[in-house]
Structure 1
Amino acid sequence: MPPTLDAALLRRWAAAAVAGLDRHRGELDGINVFPVADADTGTNMLLTMRAGADAVDQGSGDAAEIAAALAKGALRGARGNSGTILSQLLRGLAEALGAGEDLAGALRRASELATAAVAEPREGTMLTVIAAAAEAAAELGGDPVAVADAAHAAVARTTGQLAELSRAGVVDAGGLGVAVVLDALVEACAGRVPERSRVVVRDRAALTAARESGSEQYDSEVMYLLDRTTDDAVTALRARLTSLGDSVVVVGDGSGTWNVHVHCTDVGAAIEAGIEAGRPHRVTVMRFDDRPPEPERPTFRRSRAVLMIASGAGVAELARAAGADVLETRPGHTVSGRELADSVEATGAAHVALMTCDVGLLDLASRVAGAARDEGREVVVVPTTSVPQGLAALAVHDLSRNAADDVVAMAEAAAGTRTGGLVVAEAEALTWVGRCAPGEVLGMSEGEVVLIAPDLTVGALWLAHRMLTPGGELVTALLGADAPEELGSGLAEDLRRTHPEVDVVVYRGGQVDFPLVLGVE
């Protein structure tokens, strides 16, 4: 049965595709001989997919909007020939979902776009594998397992379809990367990674010879984004680039931005052609002989860490006691990207679960995580929008589990925690529950004012009882820097009497914005 490509599935697919390409990056780079044996197909596809996934992390909306964000992010971050074509697979997905089509329609459109983007399509490449996947989806009803199986079968045939692959005794690296992305869809649907045999290099000496030969005709790869253009200008540009070099791929995102790729020797002419067609920007030129070596992976002091952003000395102490590294913020200070990146690096861990405990910092955390991954450190943002959610996540953190399962458990614990707090009104105001006067206490729950109380003691009781209406097993109370101890002890005594089934813990959080913060799990 074909899957329903909803927003949640697309997010899981994007994340699984990044993880899959990361696992297979070395394998894909190692067999890369076409169109140029420059050992970067896996890296380029990973960076392209990661750019798309990062755009999804920062976006919202329905499936069509998520797919559009994925495609645009991938096109703007596309690397190399393989990444540029991969962006068209994602654009096909976006266009099909926007038109109300299913997976079969998405792969059919992806095949059309990818083939049209390449100036001189060749059999035995990524295009062949995408076409085989589209055909299987149409014939077999869009079953992800059947589609992925068909892609891998097509990959196996590429050795005999392309002379360059046959001489080196390998399959097409880009085609295998497409199959990995489709395996990620199976994982996103079924929760498991399909078992596949690793690529076997038939003739290591022939592969080495192909890798050392580089490009026989051209010495540079030129890429740029192009806008302020027209379809006719793009057609003329593609023809001009074909006369200058090979591996010409010119692809669009459907909204006026194009990604241009060519292997050539006359770099200036390739860029001038772009200027004639529109406005080129983000120009990248790489000489095949001068490609920098793969950056060295950093060395790590430990395998895993949890990093939590905490406002308040008490909260910071609780987080450290639970095993977390802490970026402690001071009142009125906004965390910068540099501070957060430095704190991630200071953990010394290869895998970092990052918790912001603040919805306003989630976008920043996603950007920092993306940059850290590019440098070889895996950083996963665990969605937490409050301190109680962060503490709940820490309570289930378990280093004996594998990292992925541990992050899922932490995210589930955070999502299962309701948060509320008390603030003292400084001026008269109209709220959702009526008009408040200066000095009155506002009870907040999930970002909304839900009650007005005469003082903190009454407000604490009313808010706790309201938050327990849907049920709960544990109430965590965090006292602010200036809150009296009696506020916590009185609340705990009342809840033990009125809700004996609920455990109550009170800590001195030390926060200055809320006299009291409550979490209900």
Structure 2
Amino acid sequence: MPQALEATAVRTWCALALDALGRAREEIDAINVYPVADGDTGTNLYLTVESAARAVDAVFDAHATTGPASRPGLAEVVRAMAHGALIGARGNSGTILAQLLRGMAEVLAAAGDEDHRGDGAALLRRALRRAVDSAYEGVARPVEGTVLTVAAAAADAAAVTAGDAAAVAGAAYEGARTALAATPGQLAALAEAGVVDAGGKGLVEVLGALSAALTGTAAAPDRAARAAVPAAAAHGWLAEGCPADRGPGPHDDGPTGPAFEVIYLLEADDAAVARLRARLDVLGESLVVVGGDGLWNVHVHVDDAGAAVEAGIEAGRPYRVRITHFGAAAQERAVHAAEPVQRAVVSVVPGEGLAALCAQAGATVVAVRPGEPPASGELVEAVRRANAREVVLLPNDADLRHAAAAAAEQARTEGVRVALIPTRSPVQGIAALAVHEPARRFDEDVVAMTSAAGATRHAELVVAERQSWTMAGVCQAGDVLGLIDGDVAVIGGELAATAETVLDRMLAAGGEMVTLVLGDGVPDAVADRLRRHVRRGHLAVDTVVYHGGQQAAPLLIGVE
């Protein structure tokens, strides 16, 4: 039965959209020829929606902790959806999709949290129109025959449709499908390759999910891309979206556009962003700047990646900077198309030092920043990058267990044998890597790595941000907390002294080796002091020190 346009329907929409894009991801990647044939549009859209869905789920989870009667309102949920999409947006199409969702959220949030059964259709029409307007505003040089055209057609169809919100969503979906089928006639690159627009195909999947969420029925499958793929093959196109025996450009033997894709989040005011748009428009192509309220997502294709980042620094504070060399990306896909290796390890770590350490040990590394845990889609991509028949996945964080499990399951459906070792800390991951032996049988290797990780007790020292109750008592902001196996065991006032107490408690149960991983900015003197402390009290225990560079925890400790 039709659903009201409210918070739960938005959550369902996000979940259905993520599922639809997951199923269509490879197909969308395969038809990605514009603006750059880099074969990643489906993946980028999936990661963008996954970030939005996670943000929405977090809102519901937060309310669930306050009691069974607590439910988030529409405004809170759509704002979370838009923010999640903004900070997780990937690629040109993902960035535009984030702005489309933001435009919808502006209208839906402004309507408040009251029951919208009566005016849901009108509200959705306005939301779809605002989405299109905001997306065109975010793109420096809009091109027809792209996701923008598909979005505009959806809004136009919704505007002339009577009925409830479900009927409006269904009309938007059908309007988008019709517009998508027409995109090859609007853009020469699509016509030459014999495909529809990849970003538009992704938007059709998202709108189909919206229709399904509001009607309570599955959306009709879109066949436009499937019908176009054989034509693409006839033009020499491979499954990765690149022409056979050619470089990454769709029309010639090498790249025809800028060499780099630059993406970053930016904290800046409106005036600074206006100046940034003007500068980046001169520097490159495919410029999309979306967001607002002080937080923006910047996407541009340039030859001078450094200049694009410097422009962001002049405008405000850029972070989560991603620079992709299109030629390198094509080479990487060629490598991945080669015969896979037998076994690989994928390790999730915080800090450049830990990333380098694990990479030297032969692992495929997923490096993370504080407060920005990788989504399951990113872990799946890492498994694919490993290009192996067998993969051992080390999440190294208890909070990543669900994302890692989802990634492992997805990789298994793609024919990869994946073993997930539930490492809760990077020091457990280091211990597992130390005994990894690719020459062993897979099961034996996994057992050995699991045993090494399980035999490693882990601790971390962090600085309290606020007053709080802990298992060790009340802490104040600025106190140093020593967490052993995830629980606060020690509260202190200074890093080294607190670490000594933590080490004493951990070594009281025995141990042969202590691993110390220094965080960003922690001096070697701390490690020297702790090494001497261990030697004085436990002569038979060895100590090894790594410079991890992690920011969230000044010190990580492992005891084996």
Q: Is the 8 A contact 2:147 2:200 kept in 1?
A: yes
Give the alignment partner of residue 226 of structure 1, picking from 222, 241, 266: 266
Which residue number corresponds to residue 137 of structure 1?
158
| Larger radius of gyration between Structure 1 and Structure 2 | 1
Q: How far did residue 256 of structure 1 move?
A: 1.5
Q: Is the 8 A contact 1:187 1:194 kept in 2?
A: no
Q: Is the 8 A contact 2:89 2:98 kept in 1?
A: yes
| Residue deviations 1:69-117 (CA, integer Å, cap 9, x gap) | 1111111011100100110121122111112262111111110111111
Q: 2:149 matched to 1:128?
A: yes
Q: Distance in 2 between matches of 1:207 and 1:90?
A: 35
Q: Secondary structure at the match of 2:195?
A: coil
Give the alignment partner of residue 200 of structure 1, picking from 228, 252, 273: 228
Which residue number corresponds to residue 393 of structure 1?
none
| Residue deviations 1:48-72 (CA, integer Å, cap 9, x gap) | 0001101111113111111111111
Amino acid at match of 2:274: T
Structure 2, unaligned stretches of length 5 or more? 61-71, 112-121, 250-254, 342-373, 384-389, 391-397, 415-560
Which residue number corresponds to residue 256 of structure 2?
216
Which residue number corresponds to residue 239 of structure 1?
278
Q: Tell me how large the CA RMSD over aligned residues is.
A: 3.0
TM-score (norm 2): 0.53
- Could you list the structure 1 runs, at least 4 aligned residues long, displaced by more than 4 angstroms after superposition: 363-378
Distance 1:155 1:179, change over 3 A: same
Q: How far did residue 203 of structure 1 move?
A: 4.3
Q: Is the 8 A contact 1:58 1:366 kept in 2?
A: no
Which residue number corresponds to residue 102 of structure 2?
91
Q: Is the 8 A contact 1:223 1:262 kept in 2?
A: yes
Which residue number corresponds to residue 414 of structure 1?
none
Which residue number corresponds to residue 173 of structure 1?
198
Q: Distance in 2 between matches of 1:376 and 1:241?
A: 42
Which residue number corresponds to residue 270 of structure 1?
308
Q: 2:32 matched to 1:32?
A: yes
Q: How does 1:289-438 map to 2 (within 5 A)?
A: 289-291=327-329, 292-293=332-333, 367-368=403-404
Q: 2:231 matched to 1:191?
A: no
Distance 1:276 1:207, change over 3 A: farther
Which residue number corresponds to residue 70 of structure 1?
81
Q: How far did residue 145 of structure 1 move?
A: 1.7
Q: Distance in 1 between matches of 2:336 and 2:5?
A: 37
| Residue deviations 1:218-251 (CA, integer Å, cap 9, x gap) | 1111000000x12121111111111111010000
Q: Distance in 1 between matches of 2:409 and 2:327?
A: 26
Q: Distance in 2 between matches of 1:279 and 1:241?
A: 16
Q: Distance in 1 between matches of 2:27 and 2:104?
A: 26
Q: Distance in 1 between matches of 2:256 and 2:412?
A: 32
Amino acid at match of 1:92: G
Q: How far did residue 22 of structure 1 move?
A: 0.6
| Residue deviations 1:383-440 (CA, integer Å, cap 9, x gap) | xxxxxxxxxxxxxxxxxxxxxxxxxxxxxxxxxxxxxxxxxxxxxxxxxxxxxxxxxx
Q: Is the 8 A contact 1:55 1:70 kept in 2?
A: yes
Q: Distance in 1 between matches of 2:314 and 2:92?
A: 22
Q: Is the 8 A contact 2:102 2:131 kept in 1?
A: yes
Q: How far did residue 207 of structure 1 move?
A: 5.5
Give the alignment partner of residue 149 of structure 1, picking from 165, 171, 174: 174
Q: Secondary structure at the match of 1:102?
A: helix
Amino acid at match of 2:73: D
Amino acid at match of 2:257: Q
Q: Distance in 1 between matches of 2:320 and 2:404?
A: 21
Distance 1:374 1:220, change over 3 A: farther
Structure 1, unaligned stretches of length 5 or more? 300-336, 351-360, 379-521
TM-score (norm 1): 0.57
Q: Secondary structure at the match of 1:260?
A: strand
Q: How far did residue 21 of structure 1 move?
A: 0.4
Q: Distance in 2 between matches of 1:114 and 1:160?
A: 22
